[in-house]
Amino acid sequence: METTPIQMADQPEAERCDAVRNRALLLDAAAALVAERGADAVTMDAVAAKAGVGKGTVFRRFGSRSGLMQALLDHTEQELQHAFMYGPPPLGPGAEPIDRLVAFGRARIALVDLSGDTLRAVEDSPELRFGSAPRQVSLTHVAMLLRAAGTEGDIPLLAHSLLAPLEASLVMHQIRAMHMPIERIADAWEDLVRRVTESPAGH
């Protein structure tokens, strides 16, 4: 997963590159801690030790543990976000809205399979669970696709209802505790989307 450099005009080029590398290094360390020992193991101290830098560096970069967790979520979701906003169809622009919605859920389920521990760690934080920027982007994306498909009804709440079964904690429960193949979970998502959007208008 790559980190998109943010242009900061008041920084020299070399310093900017160091900052970007440093940030990626710290986020990789945090993600590794989540995977190895769970979200509770992600403290500012542990991330500094893992990345081989001073604790002050972690604080300067992220401000607080909550800021670090938020940045970790952005890092984890960035590739998916980029793919559904700018990538090739059917996930990106160019495909039919319903096919894009199906592809969005399938990609999200695959991301949970890959980085579920990190995603779930963020869901476990009450202030980030529903308020995070990536969740807002996903909600906006789903609502946009529903409207583009001509779906009627309470679109904001329908977007909530469609995102709810894609939550990392539920999908991980289905994969790990219920031993469901992710293909089955992805097929059930497609079935749900088609039911919701193909329903006769004005039922």
Please state the closest distance from residue 121 (CB atom) to a second copy, in A: 11
Please state the closest distance from residue 172 (CB atom) to a second copy, in A: 9
Shorter beta-carbon distance to a second copy: residue 75 or 174: 174
Task: Please say whether the beta carbons of 189 and 105 come within 8 A.
Answer: yes
Please state the closest distance from residue 93 (CB atom) to a second copy, in A: 25
Please state the closest distance from residue 129 (CB atom) to a second copy, in A: 7
Shorter beta-carbon distance to a second copy: residue 52 or 200: 200
Please state the closest distance from residue 134 (CB atom) to a second copy, in A: 16
**Hey, what are 13's tokens?**
């080029």
Shorter beta-carbon distance to a second copy: residue 36 or 152: 152
The contact set with a second copy (CB under 8 A) reads: 124, 126, 129-131, 153-154, 157-158, 160-161, 164-165, 167, 169-170, 173-174, 177, 180, 184-185, 187-189, 191-192, 194-196, 198-200, 203
**Hey, what are 200's tokens?**
């006769």
Helix (H, G, I), strand (E, B), or coil: what is residue 93?
A: strand
Shorter beta-carbon distance to a second copy: residue 38 or 63: 38
Task: Please say whether the beta carbons of 94 and 66 come within 8 A.
Answer: no
Which helix (H) or strand (E) covers residue 1, if one does? none
Q: How far apart are the first and last CA of the chain?
A: 44
Residues 69, 31: Cα–Cα separation, whole Å: 10
Among 26, 28, 39, residue whose Cα is nearest residue 119 = 39
Residue 93, strand partner residues: 95
Shorter beta-carbon distance to a second copy: residue 70 or 174: 174
